[in-house]
Amino acid sequence: MRSKIRQLFCEWRGVSIAASSIAGFTIALRCLGYLQLFEWAALDCFFLWRPVESHDPRIAIVTIDESDIHYVGQWPIPDLILAQLLQKLNSFSPRAIGLDIYRDLPVEPGHEELVDVFESVEKTIGVEKVVGDAYGSAVGAPPKLKELGRIAAADLVLDGDGKVRRALLSLHNKDGETVLGLGTSLAWRYLEAEGIGYEMTEDYSVKLGRALFVRFTGNDGGYVGADTGGYQILLNYRGSLENFETISMQDVLEGRVSPESIRDRIVLIGATAQSLNDLFYTPYSTTRLGIPKRTPGVAVHANIASQILNAALLGRPLLDTWSDPLEWLWIIVWSWVGAILAWTWRATRATIFAWLAGLFLAIAMAYIAFLYGWWIPAVPPAIALSGSASAITAYIANRERADRQMVMNLFGRHVTPKIADTIWRDRHELLSKGKIVGRSLTATVLFTDLKGFSAIAEQLEPAALMTWLNEYMNAMVELILDHNGVVDKFIGDAVMAVFGVPIPSNTSEEIAGEAIAAVSCAVAMGKKLTALNRKWRMQGCPLVAMRVGISTGTVVAGSLGSSRRMDYTIIGDTVNIAARLESYNKSIDGGVCRILISELTYQYIRDKFTTQCIGAVILKGRQQAERIYQVLF
Whole-number Cα distances in Å, 297 to 86, 267, 279, 395: 20, 14, 6, 52
Percent of the chain beyond pLDDT 70? 90
Contact 262, 301 (CB under 8 A): no
Whole-number Cα distances in Å, 504 to 419, 420, 555, 568: 11, 14, 11, 15
Q: What is the mean pLDDT of residues 178-184?
A: 97
Q: What is the mean pLDDT of residues 289-298?
A: 87
Greatest extent of the chain over all pairs of C-alpha atoms, in Å: 137
Q: With 80 as the cut, is the pLDDT of residue 279 above it?
A: yes
Query: What are the pLDDT digits (tens) for 497-511?
Result: 999 987 788 899 999
Query: What are the pLDDT digits (tens) for 392-407?
Result: 888 888 877 766 666 6
Q: What is the pLDDT of residue 396?
A: 80
Q: What is the pLDDT of residue 589?
A: 86
Whole-number Cα distances in Å, 453 to 108, 128, 447, 449: 124, 110, 15, 9
Q: What is the mean pLDDT of residues 66-82?
A: 96
Q: What is the DSSP string of 413-463?
A: TSS-HHHHHHHHHTHHHHEETTEEPPEEEEEEEEEEEEETHHHHHHHS-HH
Q: What is the mean pLDDT of residues 482-496?
A: 91
In sequence order, the β-bridge partners of residue 567 are: 560
130 or 3: which carries more pLDDT confidence?
Answer: 130
Contact 499, 512 (CB under 8 A): no
CA-angle at 629, arms to 627 and 569, nearest 5°: 85
Q: What is the mean pLDDT of residues 552-569?
A: 76
431 band by pLDDT with thresholds 50, 70 and 90: low
Q: What is the DSSP letter of 176?
A: S
SS3 of 357-401: HHHHHHHHHHHHHHHCCEECCCHHHHHHHHHHHHHHHHHHHHHHH
Q: What is the DSSP letter of 252?
A: H
Contact 338, 355 (CB under 8 A): yes
8 band by pLDDT with thresholds 50, 70 and 90: low
Rounded Cα–Cα distance for residues 484 and 503 (Å): 11
Q: What is the mean pLDDT of residues 266-272?
A: 98
Lowest mean pLDDT among 64-68, 90-94, 396-400, 512-516: 396-400
How many Cβ atoms from other residues are within 10 Å of residue 120's Cβ? 12
Sign of the C-alpha dihedral computed for residues 460, 461, 462 and 466 taken in this order: negative
Name which of 290, 614, 603 is nearest 442 in CA terms: 603
HSE-up (13 A, CA, CB side) for residue 327 = 24
413 band by pLDDT with thresholds 50, 70 and 90: very low
Q: What is the pLDDT of residue 349?
A: 75
Q: What is the pLDDT of residue 587?
A: 84
In sequence order, the β-bridge partners of residue 97 are: 124, 267
Q: What is the mean pLDDT of residues 178-193?
A: 96
Helix axes 379-411, 2-31, angle to 10 degrees: 140
Per-chain mean pLDDT for the chain: 90
Q: What is the pLDDT of residue 415?
A: 55
Instruction: Label the pairing between strands 211-213 and 206-208.
Output: antiparallel
Whole-prediction pTM: 0.72
Rounded Cα–Cα distance for residues 281 and 284 (Å): 8
305 φ, ψ to 5°? -65, -40
In sequence order, the β-bridge partners of residue 89 are: none
Residue 302 host element (H or E): helix 297-314
Report the topology of domain 415-632. Alpha-Beta Plaits (3.30.70)
Instruction: Label the pairing between strands 151-153 and 124-128.
Output: parallel
Rounded Cα–Cα distance for residues 183 and 188 (Å): 9
Query: What are the pLDDT digits (tens) for 368-382?
Result: 999 999 999 999 999
Q: What is the DSSP string of 552-611?
A: EEEEEEEEEE-SS-EEEEEESHHHHHHHHHHHS-TTS--TTEEEEE-HHHHHHHTTTSEE
- Check residue 82 and give left, alpha or beta (phi > 0: left; psi -120 to 50: alpha): alpha
80 band by pLDDT with thresholds 50, 70 and 90: very high
Rounded Cα–Cα distance for residues 61 and 131 (Å): 25
